[in-house]
Every structure is written in C-alpha cells, then in structure tokens.
Amino acid sequence: MDNKTMARLLSETADLMEIDGADSFRIRSYRRAAEAAEQTTVDLTEAAGDTNRLLAIDGIGKSMAAKLQAIAATGTLPQRDELLTKYGAGVLELLKLPGMGPKTVALLWDAGAIGSASTDSIGQLAEAIAAGRLNGLPRMGTKQIEKLKKGIEDYRRSAGRFRIDVAEEEAERIAGYLLRHKGIERVTPAGSLRRGRETVGDLDLLAAGPACVPEKTQAAVEHVAAYPGIHDMIAKGENKVSFHVDGGLQVDVRLLPEASYGAALQYFTGSKAHNVALRQRALKMGFTLNEWALARLSDGSAVAAATEEEIYAALGMDWIPPEMRENLGEIDAAAAHALPRVVKLSDIRGDVHMHTTASDGRNSIGEMAEAALACGYGYIAITDHSKFLGVTNGLDEKRALQQIKQVHAVDREMKGKIRVFTGIEADILADGKLALDDEVLAQMDVVIASVHSRFEQSREEMTERVLRAIENPYVRILGHPTGRLLLRREPFALDLSAILKRAAELGVAMEHNAAPERLDLNDHDLRLAKEHGCKIVMSSDSHDSRNLGKMTYGAKQLRRAWLTADDVLNTRNADGFLAGLRPRK
C-alpha cells in the first residue's frame, strides 16, 4: 500500500461522496488529504503507527489520519466500499470522460441514465444517449449530449497516456508543419509536456504570429486542419483546432496573438493547482489573471501579457521553470526570490550507463565514445550486462576481464578527448548476490547493480534482496531502482525509503535512469532520495549511440524534483565524479 494508492482511495471516496450529495466541507477534507498523501515524502504505511507523524503532514487532520490508518491496516476504506456498493465501480470510470464531473454523474444517476452497481456505466451512458433518454434533462442540451457522445468515442479509442518522448516527437512534427504557414512564427508545447511530466494525456500546442490575430485566423486554421498526420478531426473553431493523430494522442492547437502569448503560455502550461494558487495571489494584489492577460481589477487594464517573465515579475515573483509548477512551494519560493537553480541538461558532464555489442548494444566501445564526445561529454563508463541474463549475451568473468583491457585500449586511443571508464551492470540475483565474482568487480571503475528478474517477490523479499546487494563493497550505483517500465510494467514492491536510507549510509548512489521508457527514479522518489542524503547519478542506459542524447527527458525529472547540480554526481568532471562515488575497497 504505497502513498499513491492511498491518495487514489481518498480521492475516489471524495468523488463518490460528491455523487452521493455529501457535505461539501467533508468532501474538501478528503480532497486535501488525497493531495497531501500524494505529495508527501513520508511513507504513510510506515507512519500509520504514529498518529503524530501523520498529523505533522500539512493537510492531514485527526479524522484523515484515522482514515489513513484504516487504509494501511485493511487496504481499503469503509466509506468508499459502502458507496461503491451503492453506485458501482463503473461511476469512477465515467469520471474519466472529458468534461464529466461528479455532479453530472449524479444527474445521470438520478435520471436513470446509468444503473445500479454497473461495471459498464460508459456503455449504459452510450445506450441512454442513443435512446434519447438524456433529452430534456437539466444542463443536457444538444451540444452537451454530442460532447458526451464524442467523449465516449474518444475514450474508448484512445484511453490512456503517452510517454513524454512520444508526445515530444509528435509535437516536433506538428510544429515543423505549422511553421511552414506564412504568419505562424513560433510554436510552443504547453501543458504536461512543457512541465516535463513522464507521461501526457494530450498535447497542447500554442502558435503565434501575424496570422494568429483574432478575426484573421481563417487561413491559419485551415492550414492546421490540413495537417497530413490527422487521424480524425475533433473540432475546428476560430482559433483552435483539435484532432487525434494515429495512435490516439489528442492534439489541441491554439492560435494566439503575440500580445497575449505569455499569458496564454502560462495559463495552458499549468498545472491546475499552480494556476489556482497564482490567481489567488493576483487577486490579493488587485489583479485578475487569465489566458489573455494579467489585468487590474479596478479598470480591467492589462498589466502584463506578452511574456511569462513580465507576468511573474508584476506579481512580485521570479520566473518559475515550467517543471516546478506543481504547487509544491514554488510560488512562495519565487516570491521570496529563493528558488533553487535547478539542474540543466548542459550541466551533465558524463554518461556512465551504456551497453555495447559485447552484450545487447548496437555499437562498439569506440563508437559509443565518439558519440558521447559529440554530445559534449567528458567521460563515459561502459557497463555491459553480466552473465545472468542469457538473452542479453551478458559477460562472464573471463569476458569481463577481456573487456576491461578493451576499454583501457579505447581510452588510450581517445588521447584525453574523453575518458572511458570500465564498468559492468551486474545483475542482482534473487537472493541479493551479484552475478559476477567480487574479484572481477574489484577491477571495475563503475559497478552498477540492478534487478532484472523475479519482479514478483514480496515487498519484504525484494527489499532484503536489494539491501544485501548494496552491502557488497564494490557496488557504487543502484540501477533503475524500482524496475518500472512506463505504461508497461509497474514498479516492483519495495521499501524504497529503507533502501535510500541505507544507500546514503554506505555512499551508494541512486541512478536516475533517463531512458524515456523508464525515468526511474521518478520525481517524487528523487525528492525522497535527496531528503535521505543520497547521491544521484543520471544516465542514459543507452543500447544505441543515437540514444545518448535522450538524457533530456531525465533532466526534466531532476528539475521536477528541484534537484540542483550539486545533487547530481555526473555534473562534476571525471575525477570529481569518481571521487564522489562510494570509495573502492
């Protein structure tokens, strides 16, 4: 029972209570507690035995502390179970439809459009629309019914999220096309993609230029609508075009005048919680803030609109990097001019996790070194797989010793242009032992220990397994610590807090695996690692020289976690990096 699951149970309870017509104050208390549970770095299951630890978390009162303790003890919440028995799990699925909120669900329930305890409420709603049973209901005009119908179709066809690299590549393709139109001079992604979320639900693109001025946008709209990658058109208006591309990703393109571009960029970047807090600050200062401008409440005159920087400055704040805009204290920090200088991709000076043709990579040691040099790196480590994984052609002791010699030879050939360190990604076996002998590991510059098998072990077994592995004196980095694959495999069960605490004591660094299919550790766990005093190493885990440049996705997660260059070991030069690792025995 992790924090995220606890937060989901509380949030779902709040939704079900709103459908049931419960007191709004009680509903808000559940929502506040859900947000607190998701954002805190305190392990709520561990803290459940100490009420005072729960009460110390902002947003958790006595009542919600008791709810969290009930969840930790039983894995469920009685209030939620009772409401699910009454309404059925299908109503939670309904809330995933575009524009569908608890009040609308309650309306549909009361009108008999969806039935008791159904697990297919979306199917029932579709049948009700087809039969005309929504006609004449309050707030259910023709446009709203068509919107619901379209929402059902979209959900069924493209439910789910998309990895950040998939969304970014699509954004680049569309932006390249849009910029061919005379009068569209710049296109910027907004929303989750700009904030660096590891996955996105849809893609927001803001376009600006002379062709995007109100009442002159018809030609630009037609150009957007003619994009050859459109799978189906959702809507086409005066300054917005929405469509799906192949694969199901929804794209919303907005055409905006330069005069209000900054306000729109700030608004559509989000997050929702950040924007709400920022608007509240604006109101207290006598302003109103929307997607068009920051304006005076007294007379509506614009104060700032063209750039984000001038909007934040007018509110007495430093500009906030998009990745930090999640209402986690960044507004107060910006107002106090105390935002940390979060790490940038350009701060990274080396990449120390990559594979070659010796195991399951596509390139030689020399080719990886040349590609890393082209990325501007000063050093790399060659860390092919160990022998345990047969499918990866992993190295046994004999081949590992041979590769050490090969790496040294390439290092000499590079003549100081780039340092090439020896290394290995050693498999952590089911019992916590490593798949290579210590005598060989002792000769490596960089030993990464990673779990690649037996993901089904219990939380206790996996925790003990990893703890035993990092006790090995030659392990310097724990690779992709939670083992997740985004949208494909959930993290394995693990007491991450215990791992981080022990790793900090031993000097074992935590990897942030920047491969876009992993991004492991995630931003929340990176914050937790920093709190425990762990060192962080970001690496690409490249199996192809072309992927060395994909560290950009990992850098976004570091920024979301508020990490600075001082928190990340491979922002140092080669000697500084080695010195920052666990001392070799």
| Position 582, amino acid | R
Mean pLDDT, residues 202-218: 94
- pLDDT of 53 reads 93
- Greatest alpha-carbon span in the chain: 80
Cα 250 from Cα 268, distance rounded (Å): 15
Q: pLDDT tens for residues 466-487? A: 999 999 999 999 999 999 988 7
| Position 297, amino acid | L
Cβ count near 272 (within 10 Å)? 9
Q: pLDDT tens for residues 530-543? A: 999 999 999 999 99
Cα 484 from Cα 56, distance rounded (Å): 31
Cα 429 from Cα 452, distance rounded (Å): 8
| Position 119, amino acid | T
Domains of the chain: 3-158 (1.10.150.110), 162-256 (3.30.460.10), 266-335 (3.30.210.10), 345-580 (3.20.20.140)
- pLDDT of 358 reads 95
Q: pLDDT tens for residues 485-512? A: 887 788 999 999 999 999 999 999 999 9
Rounded to 5 degrees, what are φ and ψ at 139?
60, 15
Cβ neighbors of 413 (< 8 A, separation 6 or more) are 366
Nearest 5°: the CA angle 103, 107, 110 is 135
The predicted model scores a pTM of 0.82
Q: What pairs with residue 202 in β-bridges?
A: 250
Cα 555 from Cα 557, distance rounded (Å): 5
Identify how many contiguous H helices and E strands the chain contains and give both numbers: 25, 17
- pLDDT of 215 reads 84
- pLDDT of 92 reads 86
The crossing angle, in degrees rounded to 10, of helices 24-39 and 62-74 is: 60
Nearest Cα neighbor of 352 from 572, 176, 91, 48 is 572
Q: pLDDT tens for residues 168-182? A: 999 999 999 999 999
The token pair at 151 is 């929402």
Q: Answer yes or no: are the C-beta atoms of 37 and 68 closer than 8 Å.
A: yes
pLDDT band at 390 (very low <50, low <70, confident <90, very high): low
Q: What is the overall mean pLDDT for the chain?
A: 92
Proportion of the chain in helix, strand, coil states, percent, rounded to 5: 45, 15, 40
> Which has the minimum average pLDDT: 84-98, 346-360, 369-383, 550-564?
84-98
Residue whose entry in the numeric block shows the structure tokens 């446009």: 143
Nearest Cα neighbor of 322 from 306, 348, 344 is 344
Residue whose entry in the numeric block shows the structure tokens 């666990």: 582
Residue whose entry in the numeric block shows the structure tokens 């309306």: 107
Ranges of H-type helices in 210-260? 218-225
